[in-house]
Amino acid sequence: MQFDTWVVRLRESIRLDRYLTGQLPHVSRNRIQRHIEHGDVLVDGRRVRPSHRLHGGETLRLPPVAARQLGTVAEAVEFRVVYEDTDLVVVDKPAGLVVHPVGAEARRTLLGGLHRRLEARDESAAELGIVHRLDRLTSGLVVVAKSLVARRRLARQVERRGLHRVYLGFVQGRPPAASGCIELFIRRDPRRPTRMQALGAEAAAAGNRISQPHVSASGYSNPRRDLRARPARTHYRILRRFAGATLLQLELDTGRTHQIRVHLQAIGTPLLGDPIYGPPETDRTRPALHAARLEFEHPTSGAALRFAAPMPADLHALARLLSQSTG
């Protein structure tokens, strides 16, 4: 059997199974985990578990993993195509739609919908791949590569922060200034490992002195026990004021898990509707967050690309409701 060899390049550590899920978007995470458990995937020549933590620089050896046939299992889903060419497609994703197959969510995904779209036009979807993530409950712009070469080039832009995203978010209350920068470290909540929490520099440093990556001598790891805090920076600007709420423009210098949501909660202005970090007295349907602008270089021509997506109907309805309460 022939094997592929990859050198891992990362900005921050990640589980092996999650890393491979991102690199092989057509392959289910369960199937990737089975390959790892069977010893098909080697990290620096060693067998490891799916939870093994990658830190960058490792060499992976794995057999060619055939993509599952998304076109046969994917359901038709609704989304708006903002731009498309031979290398990529930019989509305005509705809230509630998962970007790529995860666990049981394999049928109703953005990736599956795009797969069906290409196959309906007799175009190859074999190398279709997600370039960056957007939470299921967040609406807005996502870029998807149509070839492996384009995906690798766009991924390098993400790594060096060349892919620029601007969000709109409705928050409870009002930030302390018309514009500013939130610089707080982010780590996994030790009491609720599915959530994240923000820390100041001193608390982060103190926690990091006693926190370890939890990689055992045999090479196994548990990311939910990795409590190391990592720096994160979010810029905000007030766009509109309401009674008891504010519309913000938000931009990221880093891309930590739940960064916008955690940072806004930490400064006392949580996103309206956020089921995890939002104010308890509001309808927690979904975070009032929308990826409104997207800028990057075309992976082939190098041309500057800029796209915008208007706020969806539910956020317009929220704005009208807040305006009425203001009046």
**SS3 assignment for 182-251:** EECEEEECCCCCCCEEEECHHHHHHHHHHCCCCECCCCCECHHHCCCCECCEEEEEEEEEECCEEEEEEE
Q: How many CA atoms lie within 13 A of 215 on its CB side?
A: 13
Please indicate, yes or no, if residue 167 is contained in any of the structural domains: no
Whether residue 87 sits in one domain with residue 50: no
Whether residue 92 sits in one domain with residue 20: no
Whether residue 96 sits in one domain with residue 139: yes
- How far CA 77 is from CA of 18, 57, 287, in Å, comes to 25, 38, 21
Per-residue pLDDT for 140 more than 50?
yes
Q: Give the domain extent around 26.
A: 4-62
The CATH number of the domain holding residue 127 is: 3.30.2350.10
Whether residue 155 sits in one domain with residue 108: yes
How confident is the model over 107-118, as a mean pLDDT? 85
- What is this structure's pTM? 0.75
Please indicate, yes or no, if residue 154 is contained in any of the structural domains: yes
Whether residue 56 sits in one domain with residue 86: no
pLDDT digits (tens, 9 = 90+) for 236-245: 999 999 999 9
pLDDT at 220: 40
Please indicate, yes or no, if residue 208 is contained in any of the structural domains: yes
Please indicate, yes or no, if residue 203 is contained in any of the structural domains: yes
Q: Read off φ and ψ for residue 169, nearest 5 degrees.
A: -145, 135
pLDDT at 68: 47
Whether residue 119 sits in one domain with residue 78: yes
Q: Domain tally for the chain?
A: 3
Catalytic status, residue 40? no
Instruction: Please state, rounded to an integer, the average pLDDT across all residues of the chain.
Output: 85
Please indicate, yes or no, if residue 278 is contained in any of the structural domains: no
Of 113 and 138, the one with more pLDDT: 138
Please indicate, yes or no, if residue 219 is contained in any of the structural domains: yes
CB 196 within 8 A of CB 189: yes
- How far CA 65 is from CA of 36, 126, 293, in Å, comes to 12, 12, 34
The residue among 289, 261, 291 whose CA lies nearest residue 277 is 261
Please indicate, yes or no, if residue 289 is contained in any of the structural domains: no
Whether residue 154 sits in one domain with residue 87: yes
pLDDT band at 218 (very low <50, low <70, confident <90, very high): very low
Whether residue 46 sits in one domain with residue 30: yes
Q: Cβ contacts of residue 269 below 8 Å, gap of 6+?
A: 171, 172, 173, 174, 175, 246, 248
pLDDT band at 101 (very low <50, low <70, confident <90, very high): low
Whether residue 49 sits in one domain with residue 90: no
Whether residue 193 sits in one domain with residue 147: no
Per-residue pLDDT for 259 more than 90?
yes
Please indicate, yes or no, if residue 91 is contained in any of the structural domains: yes
Whether residue 189 sits in one domain with residue 150: no
The CATH number of the domain holding residue 16 is: 3.10.290.10
Neighbours of 67 (CB within 10 A): 15
Q: One of 40, 44, 85, 135 is an active-site residue; which one?
A: 135
Per-residue pLDDT for 146 more than 70?
yes
Q: Which of 17, 37, 62 is the last residue of a domain?
A: 62
pLDDT digits (tens, 9 = 90+) for 193-210: 778 999 988 877 777 666
pLDDT at 219: 42
Whether residue 96 sits in one domain with residue 57: no
Length of the chain: 327
Query: Facing residues of 311 across strands?
Result: none
Nearest 5°: the CA angle 116, 308, 171 is: 105
